[in-house]
A and B are shown apart, each in its own frame.
Chain A
Amino acid sequence: MGKETVIPFGPQHPVLPEPIHLDLVLEDETVVEAIPSIGYIHRGLEKLVEKKDFQQYTYVAERICGICSFMHGMGYCMSVESIMGVQIPERAEFLRTIWAELSRLHSHMLWLGLLADALGFESLFMHSWRLREQILDIFEETTSGRVIFSVCDIGGVRKDIDSETLKKINSILDGFEQEVSEITKVFLNDSSVILRTQGLGVLSQQAAFDLGAVGPMARASGIDIDMRKSGYAAYGRLKMEPILETAGDCYARTSVRIKEVFQSLDLIRQCIALIPEGEIKVKVMGNPKGEYFTRLEQPRGEVLYYVKANGTKFLDRVRVRTPTFANIPALLETLKGCQLADVPVLILTIDPCISCTER
């Protein structure tokens, strides 16, 4: 047994896009324990509910994270709508689903680029982010925003997408799909990518369940968990099955996200084919009273929103449990036994979003 050494990892690290700190306890080059500490970007956004009324808080919810911005707004709105018994128009459900799946696309493309960068595969990184730009352009055209969209509102959505633009999105996605097919072959077949990801950070199916993993992290270990199956928004009217792998390693997590890119394309096309005409918003009267738990499938996995309202315009509580937070116990477990040099890639494969996690 070698001498134990503690290496501080993060919050600044060339490979980490976001600030998480881990104290890595090593024996020689092998990690035996990882102790996390967070709070570098804790902004107290849940606490802000005391100062912003329930309508204004929609804008705060969208700012929890710059990647899942739309879905945070959507989850918050769905919670308030459930408390108030508001049924939003069907067209708004489809529009929300389209923007949610576009968000998943851009998040997964961003992650694929970061993975390529972590592996030192710079051209692959640039191709991934070049393709992601096409999705951001769609956001800009349909919402006027590239990061924060402000289209989701309590009672529906603020902007519509006309049929010409929907057709245009379809054709952009056709070209996008062709190009993505080319680069994903590299992610799945290139020998250097395989060497760096296969057999690394293995999380068995039982361990994934026992450690409460969610999203692609859980699905890569064979756990059939995807909140979209619960049928919220327009998902109940779409055909989809969760993407599953069984190896539970970094390669399997990559594979799940790549397949989910194509799944999102399919879901957007289904939405464009099925979206009904009609209103996009209903008028919401009064203040919410009651409480509700909403769960959605963000790109990183299941997210939970708990909203408690007292009948005034100020809420008692908004609580967000993000997928990265849920995946930290599984990450700490998979780090045990890995080599120090593999730590950055392993952390990246849970697709950590610390901004979400700390709120």
Chain B
Amino acid sequence: MAQQTINTISANELLAYALRLKNTNHRMVAISCTTVENGIEMSYSFDGGNDFINLRFIAGPEDEIESISSIYPYSFLYENEIKELFGVNITGITPDYKDKLYKISVKTPFNMKEGDK
């Protein structure tokens, strides 16, 4: 099993880290989110064969997170999903489906506050 590591970074370091991983032939495996007290905990997972690296930061409600689709083109699907289900403000997604990927009646169902419908 590849060694798992979680590297805590800040949101504005994301692109630089992603580019570094791309240059070392790491495959992006998934982007995951967890709702935490002060926002959404983002985990970007990359597989390098012998290692499994996760970039971790918390996206606050007002934060803008830059898309990594310029580096990993297929991240657009994960980012569109996160935007729609968690309401994370990810900018520069190519293509951006503008909340039309999921046909759901509830807005950001994984990030609802008490009383939201």
- The residue from B32, B77, B102 contacting A306, defined by CB atoms under 8 A apart: B32
Q: Does A120 contact B (CB under 8 A)?
A: no
- The residue from A47, A325, A330 contacting B109, defined by CB atoms under 8 A apart: A47
Which of B11-19, B22-30, B58-66 is the contact stretch?
A: B22-30
Q: How far is the CA of A319 from the CA of B27 in the complex (A)?
A: 19
Size range of the chain A interface in the assembly:
35 or more
In the complex, the answer to whether B45 meets A293 with C-beta atoms within 8 Å is: yes
In the complex, the answer to whether B28 meets A39 with C-beta atoms within 8 Å is: no
Q: Which of A293-318 contact B (CB under 8 A)?
A: 293, 295, 302, 304, 306, 308, 316-317
In the complex, the answer to whether B100 meets A37 with C-beta atoms within 8 Å is: yes
- The residue from A39, A317, A329 contacting B102, defined by CB atoms under 8 A apart: A39
Question: Quick one: CB contact mask for B72-107 with A, threshold 8 Å, 1 for yes?
Answer: 111011000000000000000001010011111000
In the complex, the answer to whether A329 meets B101 with C-beta atoms within 8 Å is: no
Interface size of B in residues (CB-CB distance below 8 Å): 30
Question: Whose C-beta in chain B lies nearest to the C-beta of A224?
Answer: B49
Contacts of B54 in A (CB 8 A): 293
Highest count of chain B CB atoms <10 Å: which of A35, A212, A231, A292 = A212
Q: How far is the CA of A321 from the CA of B77 in the complex (A)?
A: 12
Given contacts A308-B34, A317-B34, contact A35 B97 (CB under 8 A): yes
Q: Does B67 contact A (CB under 8 A)?
A: no
Question: Whose C-beta in chain A lies nearest to the C-beta of B52?
Answer: A293
Contacts of B2 in A (CB 8 A): 230
- The residue from B4, B35, B101 contacting A36, defined by CB atoms under 8 A apart: B101
In the complex, the answer to whether A321 meets B101 with C-beta atoms within 8 Å is: no
In the complex, the answer to whether A212 meets B102 with C-beta atoms within 8 Å is: no
Contacts of A302 in B (CB 8 A): 29
Given contacts A37-B103, A38-B103, A328-B77, contact A212 B27 (CB under 8 A): yes
In the complex, the answer to whether B74 meets A329 with C-beta atoms within 8 Å is: yes
In the complex, the answer to whether A209 meets B76 with C-beta atoms within 8 Å is: no
Contacts of B43 in A (CB 8 A): 306
Given contacts A40-B103, A293-B52, contact A212 B32 (CB under 8 A): no
Q: Smallest CB–CB gap between B74 and chain A, Å?
A: 4
Number of A-B contacts (CB under 8 A): 74
Q: Smallest CB–CB gap between A209 and chain B, Å?
A: 7
Q: Smallest CB–CB gap between B44 and chain A, Å?
A: 12
Q: How far is the CA of A44 from the CA of B105 in the complex (A)?
A: 12
- The residue from A42, A293, A306 contacting B104, defined by CB atoms under 8 A apart: A42
Q: Does A232 contact B (CB under 8 A)?
A: yes
In the complex, the answer to whether B109 meets A44 with C-beta atoms within 8 Å is: yes
Q: Does A210 contact B (CB under 8 A)?
A: yes
Given contacts A37-B102, A212-B28, A304-B30, contact A325 B77 (CB under 8 A): yes
In the complex, the answer to whether A293 meets B4 with C-beta atoms within 8 Å is: yes
Highest count of chain A CB atoms <10 Å: which of B6, B27, B30, B109 = B30
Q: How far is the CA of A24 from the CA of B77 in the complex (A)?
A: 17
Q: How far is the CA of A317 from the CA of B2 in the complex (A)?
A: 22
Contacts of B33 in A (CB 8 A): 319
Q: Smallest CB–CB gap between B26 and chain A, Å?
A: 11
Contacts of B34 in A (CB 8 A): 308, 316-317, 319
Q: Does A340 contact B (CB under 8 A)?
A: no
Q: How far is the CA of A329 from the CA of B81 in the complex (A)?
A: 13
Contacts of B35 in A (CB 8 A): 317
Q: Smallest CB–CB gap between A191 and chain B, Å?
A: 35
Question: Quick one: CB contact mask for A17-46 with B, threshold 8 Å, 1 for yes?
Answer: 000010000000000000111111010101
Contacts of B32 in A (CB 8 A): 306, 317, 319, 321
In the complex, the answer to whether B76 meets A304 with C-beta atoms within 8 Å is: no
Q: How far is the CA of A321 from the CA of B28 in the complex (A)?
A: 12
Q: Does A211 contact B (CB under 8 A)?
A: yes
Contacts of B29 in A (CB 8 A): 295, 302, 304, 321
Q: How far is the CA of A60 from the CA of B28 in the complex (A)?
A: 27
Contacts of B30 in A (CB 8 A): 304, 306, 319, 321, 326
Q: How far is the CA of A189 from the CA of B42 in the complex (A)?
A: 48
7 residue pairs of the A-B complex, CB under 8 angstroms, read: A35-B97, A38-B101, A39-B103, A46-B110, A293-B4, A293-B54, A306-B32
A sample of 7 more A-B contacts (CB under 8 A), given A35-B97, A211-B74, is A37-B103, A42-B103, A210-B73, A304-B29, A304-B45, A317-B35, A321-B32
9 closest pairs, A vs B, by CB? A39-B103, A39-B102, A329-B74, A321-B30, A212-B74, A317-B34, A319-B32, A306-B32, A211-B74
